[in-house]
Amino acid sequence: MEMISKELNFTYAIYEVEDGLPGVPDYDGNWNGLIGALVSGSADIALTSLSVTAERETAVDFTIPYYKTVGGAILMRKPIMQYSPFRFIQVLEWPVWLCIAAAYL
């Protein structure tokens, strides 16, 4: 942000909205939170992970989201567990066991 502000010759201040809300309208149609700060003009831009709703789109402009988390998943098979009475030895690798043995000798 600092490099962009120098290049485009503008200043900025980062702050959190006082109520900490993303923004919902009240019964009078006045917005609170981030959307309220944008609508009232006390903020020019908001950077957040805020879901786009039709109601919010009527109040502010959204950019195209840079990621989508709906519908995607990475699945992998569970490893086959092999039980052994010497499983405790597998906690450390052989060079570590050799160093421990050498330290006691």
What does the pLDDT look like over 34-84, one tens digit per residue? 888 888 888 888 878 777 788 888 888 887 766 665 544 444 444 566 777
Q: Is residue 18 part of a domain?
A: yes
Which pLDDT score, from 0 to 100, does residue 69 have?
57
Q: Is residue 22 part of a domain?
A: yes
Domain CATH for 53:
3.40.190.10
Q: Is residue 21 part of a domain?
A: yes
Q: Which residue has the higher pLDDT, 48 or 27?
A: 27
- Mean pLDDT score of the chain, rounded to an integer? 80
Q: Is residue 16 part of a domain?
A: yes
Which pLDDT score, from 0 to 100, does residue 63 have?
77
102 pLDDT exceeds 90? yes
**Measured at the alpha carbon of residue 33, what is the angle toward residues 27 and 37, in degrees to the nearest 5?**
100
Task: Kindly compute the dihedral angle of the four CA atoms of residues 39, 42, 48, 51, in this order, to the nearest 10 degrees.
Answer: -10
Domain span including residue 15: 1-68
Q: Is residue 93 part of a domain?
A: no
